[in-house]
Structure 1
Amino acid sequence: MLYLSYLPDEMNVSFEEALKIGADLGLKWVEMRAVDGVNSIDLTDSQVEEAKRLLDRYNMKVSAIATPFLKCTMPGLDHEASGPMHAAREMSYEEHLELVSRGAELAKIFGTDKIRFFSFWYKEDVDFWDTLNEALNEAFKRLEGTGITIGVENEGACMIRHTGDLAEAARRLDPRVKFIYDPGNAARIGYPPRQEDLDVFADRIALVHVKDGVWDPEKGESHATLVGEGAVNWQNELKRIASKYQGALTLEPHYAPDGDTVRGMKESVAAIRRIAEENGIELG
């Protein structure tokens, strides 16, 4: 079964208020990225304890820890690059690897087996695959015996950006690596998801992110839309995903009509539920 999860920090409210809103919407799962402005990987033990208490209070389970691992410059490159950090701090490649064990510890505390990785900040025409494999292999060493799954997300600001890149990743990366599939991230850089790519990497999906948006090639920028009103074509995409994957769909809408992030989340929940119902897809 597919079930809805969400990122509480997508809403500009306190962590507790975000949990209350989710509970009122009938949501039962969250993906942990940040708590009251602190990225998950930087939470102190006392902050973790308090977050866990609030999750229990609102009967929320955790689908994944949205760690920021490998959102950094690739070793050997000196270009300046950056992208959306979502409360994470800039860290060196070495610092990212040093924190992998903490990511596993957080996953165990919060009751999930998934942590997130990226693929270095994007630079055009760079052969990054061997270096990425080396980094992921080092991470697996640090995760040995934990049962933790690495999910690499496609992100427009990183080397693995769209569905074509995910298909290539399925061919090139260590078979232990799974993927966090974000069709909205691909669409928002001008690459709507393609069925032929999904066929290649579908059996390695660990998690799906739900958002929508459009790319303006003349301005070289994108903007978020309500789920179903952008370039993803969620009517088709949700059917394709449901035919190949069972697990969490995490709402990460980036959509804030009139600047209202709470309204954006509520409308996004309603939109994906409506699309699922119209296509006979059960959402938990």
Structure 2
Amino acid sequence: MLLAVPVAAGVVYAFAQPEMSEKQVLLQMELMTQDALLQDSIAESKLTEEIASMKQFFKEKSDAWWKHHRTPEGRYVWRTTQTHRLYMNGSNEVMFDTVVYKILTDPRQVIAGRLRSAREADRLEKKKDEPRFLYMVYDVNSDKRQVLGMLKEIKLAFDDLRAEYVAKGASDVDEVCPYMVYVYGPRKYGVNGAELLIGAAGAEPQERIHDITGNRLKSYQGRYGKNASVLLRVDNSVSERGYIEMCKRVKRYFPAAKTEHEK
């Protein structure tokens, strides 16, 4: 709507000039439209660059932490309870762990609060205070502005937690509260970049599965049989190796399954 204001103003001005022909007016409108599209393209590119920069920041921080914990003398083994997941779908709705938010109004506070309470619970129950791992996955249709905003909020949440440890006297905040954030996206097929379509043998597969685990496949084999109509799709966020592993897993339960890896 904002872009329409200068365009409309230009058209009014053009028609106010009696010496301008209809052809000249149309040419001016086309030039203004092209300029608006160019500005949109520039803004889109800038968003993509900023998202990539945030991803790189988290990757460098997590890689640096793992570098000191993946040694032959003592490799760090993390527990599944240390992991938190944040999913953003194509409608920009967010699921953080098991809670779905139509609109997450204060991500920084929500994320910091959840990680803080999880660490406190660990201290009470297991007498341990260990780093938390956060996985963020976003859909290919997610608004890039929303994605970038969420990445910034996640960093601010970790900043808050790190500041608390510094206030408590932590000598190495990168050790006790590192930026352990892994970002995956944009993804077309589910949170893992894959989906499985399945149906009765000889029929068009209709039912969609995004949690493609061995136990899940086994249960569907019991429902549809080994000769079920199955199609595995993965998008280009899945590596060749990951694709091969998924194919092996699916074909173990459905030998005739068709597969499709988008390039």
State TM-score, norm by structure 1. Answer: 0.27
Q: Determine which structure has more spread, i.e. the larger CA radius of gyration.
A: 2
More helix by share: 2
TM-score, with normalisation over the residues of structure 2? 0.29
